[in-house]
């Protein structure tokens, strides 16, 4: 149950999050359930000048561009990992700290964001340092890193700890072995940054990881959808290695499933991120009246790559839209496949009012 009067507060990095009253938090912790803080990834209401792409210092070719330029297998794997980390899975959105304007601090690329979530008592959940430094993942084995990403389990001196499910391991659980290998291979190449991230506050301790999303629950393309192969590829990108599903599904606080399984992709997650209006994630299902039934595949591609909706209006943060950043860097084929999958989603009626205009309009004269 979300309390109507809960506050939202920005943290130092400009990320934003829902803050529950401390007693409410304790109450849920005591019931061994999961208080869920809904995070925005970029959550910036800043000007274009402030928006900096989250890319590692040494850019590499995008994978899969088919130009056969003689990459070794390992180079191709690392490039795939980089693409997943920076674009599809948006790891860098959460794991790179931000300056006061909300722009990522590139000298600390992937070095962790302190106080990603802050409670009213100043207890924090910190996005961790993933770089090749002893304060990061340097001394972790590949298997340990994979368990943290895919299972939400962190080995600690005192035994295994469950990660708090702001880290979307319950979605990443369905990442393919090859892609998980690629992510780890890429993380091994990220320059080490000396940045000790404190352990999270005890309020975020959990008895067990959140429930992993059962892949059989992820909607299948409607049987009458013409391009089944593209939609099937898009399903993996949107709901297993990527996080469209995570943002476009209402989260239920106190539920170890985290997501409202009855409304996958039907929108309704609320983002109080300091904009003049409060964005709510939209219903992406093909319902004619309340979803994207009347959108074309190209409309959906444009939303991701250019950040504009069917009518040409800007899409509000926290969705990491293009053109220069976030989903703007999706490979054309991947963006098309995701759009086919979105267009193939079975309809769910769920009206989400269009409350957000971006960039915000000047106040009326
Ligand atoms: C929505 C924000 C978010 C996204 C997206 C995200 N993470 Fe995290 N991640 C976190 C937070 C917060 C923690 C800390 C969880 C805790 O301490 O309970 C974390 C913890 C981790 C850890 C544990 C590290 C340690 O030493 O404790 C690893 C590894 C990790 N993330 C890797 C990734 C990778 C790889 C991706 C992309 C595939 C990713 N994360 C995407 C927020 C995020
Ligand atoms: C961090 C959360 C987040 C992620 C990740 C995200 N979205 Fe969104 N998305 C939103 C929010 C919030 C809105 C509503 C913004 C507004 O009101 O302007 C939105 C709007 C949209 C719209 C416009 C719909 C309409 O009716 O105007 C489309 C299309 C869309 N998202 C598709 C996607 C796809 C496809 C993905 C994955 C590639 C994705 N989103 C990932 C949060 C997210």
Answer whether 250's CB lies under 8 Å from 260's CB: yes
Q: Which residues form ligand 2's pocket by a CB distance below 6 Å?
A: 40-41, 238, 242-244, 247-248, 271, 279, 281-282, 284, 300, 303-304, 309, 315-316, 318-319, 327, 338, 342, 356, 358
Closest residue by Cα to atom 39, ligand 2, is 244
pLDDT band at 30 (very low <50, low <70, confident <90, very high): very low
Sign of CA dihedral 286, 287, 292, 298: positive
| Res 124: pLDDT | 95
Sign of CA dihedral 333, 335, 339, 342: positive
Q: Strands, E, within 11-96: which ranges?
A: 16-19
Is residue 119 over pLDDT 50?
yes
Residue 5: exposure state from Cβ atoms within 10 A (0-12, 13-18, ≥19): exposed
CA distance 226 to 201: 50
The first and second tokens of residue 178, run together, are 């090859």
Residue 264: exposure state from Cβ atoms within 10 A (0-12, 13-18, ≥19): buried
CA distance 299 to 149: 32
Which ligand does the CA of 92 lie closest to?
1
pLDDT, mean over the chain: 82
Arithmetic mean of pLDDT, 63-85: 77
Query: Domain coordinates of the chain in residue numbers?
Result: 7-343
Q: How many CA atoms lie within 13 A of 46 on its CB side?
A: 18
Answer whether 290's CB lies under 8 Å from 349's CB: yes
Is residue 63 over pLDDT 80?
no
Site of tokens 């925005």: 40
| Res 362: pLDDT | 66
Ligand 2: which atom is nearest the Cα of residue 315?
A: 18
Q: What is the pLDDT of residues 277-300, one digit of tens each?
A: 889 999 999 999 999 999 999 999
Q: What is the pLDDT of residues 205-243, one digit of tens each?
A: 999 999 999 999 999 999 999 999 999 999 999 999 999
**pTM, 2 dp:** 0.85
Q: Which of 212-226, 269-283, 294-308, 338-352 has the lowest mean pLDDT?
A: 269-283
Answer whether 8's CB lies under 8 Å from 16's CB: yes
Arithmetic mean of pLDDT, 313-334: 93
- pLDDT > 70: percent of the chain: 79
Site of tokens 């074309």: 296
Arithmetic mean of pLDDT, 74-99: 95
Closest residue by Cα to atom 40, ligand 1, is 91
Q: How much distance in Å is there from the Cα of 301 to the middle of ligand 2?
A: 11
Arithmetic mean of pLDDT, 230-258: 95
| Res 363: pLDDT | 65
**Cβ-based neighbour number of residue 212 at 10 Å:** 17
The reply to whether ligand 1 has any atom less than 6 angstroms from the CB of 162 is: no
Closest residue by Cα to atom 41, ligand 1, is 91
Is residue 129 over pLDDT 60?
yes
CA distance 330 to 305: 7
Closest residue by Cα to atom 9, ligand 1, is 167
pLDDT band at 257 (very low <50, low <70, confident <90, very high): very high
**Cβ-based neighbour number of residue 95 at 10 Å:** 26
Which ligand does the CA of 127 lie closest to?
1
Phi first, then psi: what are they for 127, rounded to 5°?
-75, 135
CA distance 255 to 274: 26
Arithmetic mean of pLDDT, 310-332: 92
Answer whether 340's CB lies under 8 Å from 292's CB: no
DSSP 8-class letter at 278: -
CA distance 161 to 153: 6
CA distance 46 to 48: 7
Q: What is the pLDDT of residues 160-198, one digit of tens each?
A: 999 999 999 999 999 999 999 999 999 999 999 999 999
Q: How much distance in Å is there from the Cα of 353 to the middle of ligand 1?
A: 31
Arithmetic mean of pLDDT, 55-61: 42
The first and second tokens of residue 65, run together, are 């561009």
The first and second tokens of residue 54, run together, are 């989250």
Site of tokens 């309340």: 290
């Amino acid at each position: 149950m979300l309390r109507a009067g809960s506050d939202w507060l920005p943290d130092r990095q400009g990320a934003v999050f829902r803050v529950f009253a401390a007693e409410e938090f304790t109450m849920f912790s005591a019931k061994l359930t999961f208080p869920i803080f809904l995070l925005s990834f970029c959550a910036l209401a800043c000007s274009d000048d402030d928006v900096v792409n989250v890319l590692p210092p040494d850019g590499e070719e995008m994978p899969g561009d088919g130009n056969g330029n003689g990459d070794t297998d390992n180079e191709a794997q690392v490039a795939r990992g980089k693409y997943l980390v920076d674009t599809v899975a948006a790891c860098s959105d959460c794991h790179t700290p931000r300056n006061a304007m909300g722009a990522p601090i590139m000298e600390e690329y992937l070095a962790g964001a302190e106080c990603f979530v802050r409670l009213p008592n100043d207890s924090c959940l910190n996005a961790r340092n993933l770089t090749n430094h002893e304060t990061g993942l340097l001394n972790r084995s590949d298997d340990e890193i994979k368990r943290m990403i895919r299972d939400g389990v962190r080995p600690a001196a005192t035994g295994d700890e469950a990660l708090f499910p702001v880290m979307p391991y319950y979605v990443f659980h369905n990442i393919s072995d090859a892609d998980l290998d690629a992510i780890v291979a890429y993380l091994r190449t990220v320059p080490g940054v000396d940045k000790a991230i404190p352990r999270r506050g005890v309020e975020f301790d959990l008895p067990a990881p959140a429930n992993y999303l059962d892949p059989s629950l992820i909607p299948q393309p409607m049987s009458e959808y013409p391009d089944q192969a593209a939609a099937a590829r898009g399903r993996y990108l949107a709901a297993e290695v990527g996080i469209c599903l995570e943002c476009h599904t209402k989260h239920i606080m106190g539920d170890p499933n985290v997501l409202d399984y009855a409304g996958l992709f039907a929108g309704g997650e609320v983002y109080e991120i300091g904009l003049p209006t409060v964005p709510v994630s939209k219903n992406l299902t093909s319902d004619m009246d309340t979803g994207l039934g009347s959108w074309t595949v190209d409309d959906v591609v444009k939303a991701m790559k250019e950040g504009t909706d069917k009518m040409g209006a800007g899409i509000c943060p926290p969705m990491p839209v293009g053109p220069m950043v976030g989903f703007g860097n999706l490979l054309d084929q991947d963006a098309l496949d995701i759009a086919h999958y979105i267009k193939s989603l079975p309809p769910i009626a769920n009206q989400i009012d269009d409350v957000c205009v971006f960039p915000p309009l000047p106040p009326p004269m």
